[in-house]
């Protein structure tokens, strides 16, 4: 059950939740949840299903052998950087549209000079 605990811990951290957050949702104490994460406590199927539901993952994901924790956190960091990049691109697009609108307004306000 150590794989189960490791996967629970990784997914909990991925959500940014503390042990207290999950323990309260399960209706158990923090030490009891800590024992689940460390593999000290054997967990029945209904409790595993409950944890999977809280973490919003299929039951199989909790039981499957995961990649190394460092690899997992590297993937999370890359995902976070990609999200920031996408947000910056969206901000740039919005600013470009504002510049175009301002340019059009300035152009309309300036009198047209004709050379004769």
Give the CATH number for residue 11: 1.10.260.40
Is residue 67 very low, low, confident or very high in pLDDT (cuts 50, 70, 90)?
low
The Cβ-side half-sphere exposure at 48, using a 13 Å CA radius, reads: 18
Query: Torsion-angle region of residue 27: left (phi > 0), alpha (psi -120 to 50) or beta?
Result: left
pLDDT tens per residue, range 1-51:
588 998 999 999 989 999 999 999 999 999 999 999 998 988 999 999 999
First-residue to last-residue Cα distance in the chain = 89
Q: Specify if 116 maps to a domain.
A: no
Average confidence score pLDDT of the chain:
87
Q: Can you give the residue range of the structural domain that contains 80? A: 67-110
Give the number of domains in the chain: 2
0.75 exceeded by the pTM? no
The DSSP secondary-structure symbol of 65 reads: P
């Amino acid at each position: 059950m150590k794989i189960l605990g490791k996967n629970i811990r990784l997914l909990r951290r991925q959500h940014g939740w503390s042990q207290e957050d999950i323990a309260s949702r399960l209706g158990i104490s923090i030490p009891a949840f800590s024992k689940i994460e460390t593999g000290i406590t054997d967990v029945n199927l209904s409790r595993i299903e409950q944890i999977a539901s809280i973490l919003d993952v299929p039951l199989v994901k909790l039981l499957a052998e995961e990649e190394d924790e460092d690899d997992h956190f590297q993937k999370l960091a890359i995902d976070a950087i990609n999200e920031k990049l996408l947000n910056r691109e969206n901000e740039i697009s919005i600013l470009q549209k504002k510049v175009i609108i301002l340019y059009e307004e300035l152009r309309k306000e300036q009198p047209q000079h004709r050379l004769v």
